[in-house]
Amino acid sequence: MSEYLTARDHSLRVPGSSMGLFFPSENRFDGVLSRQLEQLKAQAGRGIAQSDQELVKNVAAVLAELSKNSLNVRSYFPEHGENPVTGFISAYLAGVIQDAAIRRLDDVALEGADHLRDLCRGLIDHQFYLNALTQTERLEQLATISVINLNDVVLQGAVRGLSDCLLHNSFRGYRGSHITKYLLERLTRITKLRLDSPLGLDMNKVSYSIGPFISPTEPSSLAVVSSQLADAIAQLSRSDNWDRLDGLRSAYNELHDQLWRYLADIGIESVKKNSFLMHYLNSSLEQIIRVHVWLLQSIALPRMEPTDMNTAQEQHIRDSFRDKIRENISWEITGVYSRIVPAMFEHKQLGYLDETMETQCLFAFWCIDVAMTNVSIDACKRVFVACLQLLQENAPDPYRSARTSINIAKIGIYALAKEAGDVVEFAVQRYRELRTLFEEKYSEMRFVGDFGSAEGDLMEERSQMVFTTHDNIFFSTVRTEHIRAFFQLVD
């Protein structure tokens, strides 16, 4: 069949989407190809009915190989951004995989997810972006079937397939095809569907099924895609390969264009369920913001003299790209957490509040480093508002507000070390206000970690070994005199 397709290149009668829309009477398909595909479909149907997974896997493998071989075969009716031949064959492939998944033939469904992923990547390489979008939709449908069947194993295969396509499209994709946008939308919908499903919220199961997308340790997760793109941009920024560099910058911008919306949606759903996914979200955002800051510093190159049109255009693109990175930092910190933190108090799910406040503190440090003091102040304000809500009458833990407020002190001390005066002033005022409110409400209360012992605790921690990124950055920058100076300003 592959040889037949090759021989019929540019003469195979397989209508595309435009023909189906405007000339429905011409929807006649090549007879030889149609008969063979129907026979394969019938064989797969018999295998599914008898639960013969090996037979069905063989049929799916044949259809997958035929789909990949058809990528270089064009129909008699050419279409822009589409290969009707591949689209026709892949429809049979997807039908077999979905029927097998519905009948709970997990081995077939898992291999099928790999077939759809590989086909999608091949379509991206050939710039058949309409067909590629169809394959991503089929992977989402496979994920939905797995959730309905309460099957985390097949769900993990579908999510991994979509994540692999996201990584591949970021480096090999066609600019302006919006595949990245649709992939992120599909992965976000699947994540929310998994959290709302009867599959349960067991930490290991959730991390297994959704981890390929949101866990920063997975090879094609969102954080890893962002890191690899940034690394490639930093390496090429010192070369003269401006066309390739511009393509990578466009892919980076497309990845982060509306990313904060998707992450905020996932975060709110995770908070509602008090899911371990909130930890993955914090970890992913920590890595993403770190990459933004690193890239911003890495591409701070000397300005080029506008000797010709190309150099002037490249300098303008560099400046615009740096501004876009700053915008991404702002949205992916303020835009995401200004929604997540209030949701924690609204739904009374404070299990990940301490981790989230430490993350705000870390983001404030990095923003101070790149002179984004407005974002640092916003992060400090979120910690302050959280501490105020913890001080309310119905707060179950009166100690928590005081212990959480140490993050405000750390932001102020770090800003003092970096000479960020606006941040220092804001942190001093907010910390002083919290201390006054706490002492008015709990005048007789003394405990480890309260406002009175905060300065001494930081001094003691500075002399000890630290392991977290947050503490490592803080204590490697701050000296003893900075800690003393901050608390003197508060007094």
- CB-based burial label for 456 (10 Å; 0-12, 13-18, 19+): exposed
Q: Is 269 domain-assigned?
A: no
Q: Which domain holds residue 483?
A: 368-491
The answer to whether residue 120 sits within a structural domain is: yes
Asked if residue 265 is part of any domain, the answer here is: no
Q: Please report where in the chains the tokens 């493998």 appear, as a residue.
A: 61
Q: Given this model, what pLDDT does residue 22 score?
A: 45
205 vs 278: CA distance, rounded Å: 14
How many CA atoms, within 13 angstroms, populate the side-chain half-sphere of residue 395?
A: 17
pTM beyond 0.85: the answer is: yes
Q: Distance between CA atoms of 330 and 333, rounded to whole angstroms?
A: 5
The span from the CA of 214 to the CA of 327, in Å, is 22
Instruction: Report which of 1, 10, 147 is spatially closest to residue 68, judged by C-alpha positions.
Output: 1
Rounded to whole angstroms, the Cα distance separating 241 from 233 reads 11
Q: Looking at residue 396, what is its pLDDT?
A: 66
Question: CA–CA separation, 85 vs 66, rounded Å?
Answer: 10
Per-position DSSP letters for 327-353, written without gaps between them: HHHHIIIIIHHHHHHHHHHHTT--TTH
Q: Tell me, what's the pLDDT at 8? A: 82
Residue with the two structure tokens 């008898």: 50
At residue 484's C-alpha, the angle toward residues 481 and 487, to 5°, is 150
Partner residues linked to 82 by β-bridges: 79
The total of structural domains in the chain comes to 2
Please state, in angstroms and rounded to a whole number, the distance separating the CA atoms of residues 137 and 116: 10
pLDDT one digit per residue (tens) for the chain, 491 residues: 888 888 888 778 787 666 554 445 455 677 888 899 999 999 999 999 999 999 999 999 999 999 999 999 888 777 778 888 899 999 999 999 999 999 999 999 999 999 999 999 999 999 999 999 999 999 999 999 999 999 999 999 999 999 999 999 999 988 778 899 999 999 999 999 999 999 888 888 998 999 999 999 999 999 999 999 999 999 999 888 888 999 999 999 999 999 999 999 999 999 999 999 999 999 999 999 999 999 999 998 888 887 888 888 888 999 999 999 999 999 999 999 999 999 999 999 999 999 999 999 999 999 999 999 999 999 999 999 999 999 876 666 777 888 899 999 999 999 999 999 999 999 999 999 998 888 887 776 665 456 777 888 888 887 776 667 888 899 989 999 999 999 999 98
pLDDT confidence of residue 462 = 76
**Domain end marker among 157, 191, 216:** 157
Instruction: List % helix, strand, coil for the chain (3-state, nearest 5).
Output: 75, 0, 25
One DSSP character per residue, 94-151 reads: HHHHHHHHHTT-HHHHHHHHHHHHHHHHHHHHTT-HHHHHHHHHHHHHHHHHHHHTT-
Q: How many residues does the chain have?
A: 491
Residue 249 lies in a domain: no
Distance CA 483, CA 100 (A): 64
- The DSSP-derived string for 64-84 is HHHHHHGGG--BSS-BTTB-H
With a CB cutoff of 8 Å and minimum separation 6, the contacts of 387 are 401, 404, 405, 408, 434
**Residue 491, in any domain of the structure:** yes
Instruction: Give a yes or no: residue 334 inside a domain.
Output: no
Among 157, 180, 215, where does a domain finish? 157
Cα atoms found within 13 Å of the Cα of residue 171, Cβ hemisphere only: 16
Please, are residues 223 and 287 in contact by the beta-carbon 8 Å criterion? yes
The letter for the amino acid at 265 is D
Q: Tokens 């206000």 correspond to what residue? A: 433
Residue 238 in domain = no
Residue 136 within any structural domain of the chain: yes
Task: Give the end of a domain, one of 113, 141, 157.
Answer: 157
Sequence-ordered list of residues with C-beta below 8 angstroms from that of 27, at least 6 positions apart, any chain: 15, 19, 20
Amino acid symbol at 81: G
**pLDDT recorded at residue 446:** 61
CA 88-91-97 angle, 5° bins: 150
Instruction: For tokens 């390969």, name the residue.
Output: 241
Q: How many Cα atoms sit within 13 Å of 206 on the Cβ side?
A: 23
First to last CA, the chain: 83
